[in-house]
Structures are given as structure tokens and as C-alpha cells.
Chain A
Amino acid sequence: MSYTFDWSVLWTGQSGHWLLQGLLTTLNISALAWTLAAALGIVSGALRTVAFKPLAALAAFYVEFFRNVPLLVWMFFWYFAVPPMLPRPVQDWLYVHGVEFLAGMFALGIYHGARFSETIRSGIQSIPKTQFEAALSTGLTTAQTYRLVIVPIALRLIIPPATNESLNLLKNSSVALTISVAELTFQTRQIEAYTAKAFEALTAGTLIYLVLCLTIAAIMARVERRVAIPGMIARVSPAEH
């Protein structure tokens, strides 16, 4: 291959500063979007299992509508289509205060919320019906049963797939570069633009994503062991990572 590698581009000039900025933006947008996604996912996932049909239908609509349209389209939707629908003063405020970050966060959070929702629903549906009935028979209302018994157990059950989803969210935050959010992938391209060294810049980005994801996976595995209810879930061997 007629390409000479020059790794020094990663620590000379402003590269380090850019990568750090990109990393912070990625973490920032992912953390906010994750919070939004988790909240939406838990509420809509629980609603899909309730007996009251209109609420279940509303939740089903949310899930199917948002998860079946590509994330890129949602990015453009929140960035290009939503602001013009708002009143003029709100628009002006948004344009000055980082509309791309907010649009990216909503796109990511709402899209992944729909996917989280399915994870939560599968968790809830894997809980035996008797558990639900037992909770009701102790005098709890349906809402209390969900809040105090069903959802806490479901959240424990779904830690592995939820970890998966969270890692996806983190990696999907790179799609926000299409609406000019200067996150990690954007910054690796920036290094490429200044130095014409694409492979080095991409490798740096890859390693940072890898380390981030492995860290999150490790934390989630620890959380899983910490919050496990002894005797609740059958395991072949203790969870490990």
C-alpha cells in the first residue's frame, strides 16, 4: 500500500484538544439522550403491558413510529423540520443556543426510547403472572404494583439487553455529525481535514469508542451483580465480564 503512517499527527497540533472536546460532546449528548430514552422507555414499555387499551395503543404507536424510521431521518427531522414549526422568538432563541445539540439529543433519545421500550416490555412480560397477582392480593393498586414490584424486577432482568442498547446509543451519537454536532467522529474527521491522515484519525476514534463501550459494559456488569435479588433469577453461573 502506498500509504505512509504518521501517528504523530494525533499528539501534535490541536489534535489532542479536538479529540478531548469531541469525547466530552459525545458523552454529554449520550448521557442526556440516555436519560430521556430510559424515561420514555420505562413509561411506554410499562404502558404496553397494561390492560387499559388506549394507553397500550398509544405506547405501541410511539414504539412502532419511532423505531421504524432511520435515525438519520430523525436527525434531519428534529433539526430541519421542528424549529420552523415553533413561534419565531423560540426559533431565534434556539438558533443562537445550540439548536443542533438539542435536535441531536431529542432525535437520539426519542429513537432509542422506542427501542428501550421493547426491552422493558420483554422484561415485564417475562415476569410470571402470579407475581403480579400476588402483589395485587397484598392490597397494592395496579400503579403501585408496577412501580414497586414489576418494574424493579423487570429492570434487573433486562440489564444485559439494556447494556446493548446503551452502547448502541453511544455509538449512534456519531450520526449527529450530519447536523453539525462536533462530537467524537466529527473531530476525527477534523484531524483528517487538517493533516490528510485519515487512517490515523479513524484509528484514534475507534480506540476511544472501544474504551468507552468496554467501560460502560464493565460498569453495567457490576451493577447487575450489585442489584441482583438473591434467589430471584436462575443462573448457571455468576454473571461475569
Chain B
Amino acid sequence: MKPLMRLVMTFAVVLAVAVSAHAETTLEKVSRTGVLTIGTRTGSPPFAFINKQNEWVGFSIDLVEQAIAPVLSRKIGQPIKVEKKESAHATRIPLLTSNAVDLIAETMTDTRPRRESVDFSLTFFVTGAQFLVKKGSPIKSIKGIAGKRVAAQQGSTNARIVRETVPKAILREFPDQPAAFQALAQGQVDTYTNDGIQLAGLKAKAPNPNEWQIVGDFYSYEPYGMAMRKNESDFRHLVNVGLMEAIESGKYFELYDKWFGPKGNSKPGLLPVWLLPKASRLAPLF
């Protein structure tokens, strides 16, 4: 038994050292390494995706690079680099808690269960779930999906709502947007449900956008926030300052126009409530 006990003790010590090494705050980490690592997506246009030129771009990524990173680098007094890593529904919280990334900047809905594990920034976008169907489909809204095959993203808030409110719908969950869309395009499923703004992005990027239709009223409320490790109010404050300064300077609206405006590739969604006083600036877009 003795060698075993020694092994267990060694393991415990190694673990304790590892845990104490993690005690560094995000801000300390960023100023030590000069790098802010974000978790984002490759297939969620227009928030975060790989474009035709093979660049990893999007609204959420621009917000980090052009609004949040400058505030951080001003605070720590040195330029910082933004590094991107792929995150998915199932991995984004572990990515944060394991220190692999410092900030999740994609299309993450701010929910109460998630708030028990991570902290969220101010809401930077609001949308709701709808349905993407082939033109002429009998599905018009969430009322018409009972008995139909409905694709959704694994672990998304919409999948959960469909399961709970329309148990008769045949839910098929895919790990990412391209697989779900492929299943819809081939007829394995009858419709694909996701946040309206993402469906709009997907439709715009489809080979033949006119074949597709986004139907139904919003059946959920999806406020997007950027997620970070819990209980680091200094870092969260800087992220929020970045977002707020972008609103005040007009940078946010410039980016909004770039991704959702007439020249962008998606129709605008709703705005976060706290943004409403500034909404007059968006008038030409609506």
C-alpha cells in the first residue's frame, strides 16, 4: 500500500501546485504575455466565420479587436495581440475555466445557468430564434413543427426551448451550423432553427439565397454577451468600457453597418435595451 500512497500524495501535490499556478488573474496574464486569447467560431456568420479569402472575421471578432483590445492595451500600457481559438457550445465554458482562452466572443447567449459558471459582459446584440426553411415549406412558425424533423445546434438555447415546448417535434442536433444546413439542404430535416440573425447570415452565404426563407416570430429571447472567468471584475470592467466607448465614439455603429447594414450580408436584428437611446443613429438601416 505504501508505494500507492506515495503516488497519491505526489499526485495531490502536483495538483495543488497546478491549481495555485492558475491563481494569476486574466489581466495579469494578458500583461505578462501581451496576448488576449479569445474563443470564437468558424461557422457563425456574420459574428465569427471564415470568409472566402480564408480570413477569420466577423462582428464579434471586430468588437474585440477594435473596441476591447485598445482599452486593454491602454490599461496595461503595452500593445496586445488578439489570438483566436475555435470554441463550440460544449467547449466554451471549459475553455474559459481551464485558462485556454480569456474571453468568449461569438454568439453566446447570456443565460442564468451559464452565469453560475462564467461572467458576462454587457449585452452587445439581441436576437431571437426563428426557422429557416426551403421556399414553399408548410412550416410557418413554431406552431407548425410538431411531427416535423427540426435541426438545431447541439447545446443551444433554441434546442432546449423546442424540446420543452413542442415535444412532438423530432429534434436533430448537430455540432455546427454547416452540418445542420447541409442536412436541411438535402432534406434529412424539414427546417433548421437558430437565432434569426444567424439564419440571416447563413442564408446570405448560401449558394442560392433566394431558395431559402426565414419564418416565424422570435420564439425566444437571445441576448448575446461576451463570457469570461468568474469574479474578475477588473477585467470585466475593461471589456465593458471597450464596448461602451465603441458605442459612444460611433465605432460600434460603424461595425454594425459593416456586418448588418446594406453593404453587409445580413439584415439587422433587435438592439440591446441599453443601446436604445443611441438607436436614432441606426435609423437609415431600418
- Residues on A lying within 8 angstroms of B by beta carbon are 1-3, 6, 76, 79-80, 83-84, 91, 95-96, 99-100, 177-180, 182, 186, 189-190, 192-199, 202
A182 to B172, CA, bound (A): 8
Contact with A along B145-174 (1 / 0, CB 8 A): 000010100111001100000000000111
Quick one: which of B19, B175, B188 contacts A177, CB cutoff 8 A? Answer: B175
Quick one: which of B90, B97, B159 contacts A1, CB cutoff 8 A? Answer: B97
Q: Verify A192–B155 contact, CB threshold 8 A.
A: yes
**For A189, what are the chain B residues with a Cβ–Cβ distance below 8 Å?**
89-90, 154-155
Complex interface: stretch among B34-42, B109-117, B136-144, B250-258 = B109-117
A197 to B172, CA, bound (A): 22
Q: Verify B94–A198 contact, CB threshold 8 A.
A: yes
CB nearest to A3 among chain B residues: B97
A-B interface, 5 closest residue pairs, ranked by CB to CB distance from nearest: A193-B155, A180-B172, A3-B97, A189-B90, A196-B117
Quick one: which of B89, B173, B182 contacts A182, CB cutoff 8 A? Answer: B173
B183 an interface residue at 8 Å Cβ cutoff? yes
CB nearest to A190 among chain B residues: B155
CB nearest to A14 among chain B residues: B163
A99 to B97, CA, bound (A): 37
CB nearest to B147 among chain A residues: A96
A182 to B175, CA, bound (A): 12
Q: Given that A180-B174, A189-B89 are known contacts, is A1 also in contact with B114, CB under 8 Å in the complex? A: no
Contact with A along B173-195 (1 / 0, CB 8 A): 11100010011001110000000
A194 to B97, CA, bound (A): 17
* 23 A-B pairs in the complex with CB atoms less than 8 angstroms apart: A1-B19, A3-B97, A83-B188, A100-B188, A177-B154, A178-B175, A179-B174, A179-B179, A180-B151, A180-B174, A180-B183, A182-B173, A186-B154, A189-B154, A190-B155, A192-B89, A192-B93, A194-B160, A196-B114, A196-B117, A196-B118, A198-B94, A199-B97
- Contacting A at CB under 8 A, from B88-126, are 89-91, 93-94, 97-98, 111, 113-114, 116-118
Distance (whole angstroms) from the CB of A100 to the closest CB of chain B: 7
Q: Verify B175–A2 contact, CB threshold 8 A.
A: no
Q: Given that A1-B19, A180-B174, A198-B93 are known contacts, is A193 also in contact with B160, CB under 8 Å in the complex? A: yes
Distance (whole angstroms) from the CB of A184 to the closest CB of chain B: 13
Q: Verify A197–B117 contact, CB threshold 8 A.
A: yes
Distance (whole angstroms) from the CB of B172 to the closest CB of chain A: 4
Total A-B Cβ pairs within 8 A: 82
Known: A180-B174, A189-B89. 6 other contacts (CB 8 A): A2-B231, A83-B188, A100-B188, A178-B174, A180-B154, A182-B173
Distance (whole angstroms) from the CB of A79 to the closest CB of chain B: 7
Q: Verify A192–B187 contact, CB threshold 8 A.
A: no
Quick one: which of A76, A96, A99, A199 contacts B94, CB cutoff 8 A? Answer: A199
Quick one: which of A91, A195, A197 contacts B187, CB cutoff 8 A? Answer: A91
Most buried by A among B149, B154, B174: B154
Most buried by B among A95, A178, A198: A198
A196 to B149, CA, bound (A): 26
Q: Given that A2-B231, A99-B188, A189-B90 are known contacts, is A196 also in contact with B116, CB under 8 Å in the complex? A: yes
Q: Verify B183–A80 contact, CB threshold 8 A.
A: yes
Q: Verify B231–A196 contact, CB threshold 8 A.
A: no
CB nearest to B159 among chain A residues: A193
B230 an interface residue at 8 Å Cβ cutoff? yes
**For B154, what are the chain A residues with a Cβ–Cβ distance below 8 Å?**
177, 180, 186, 189-190, 193
A233 to B106, CA, bound (A): 60
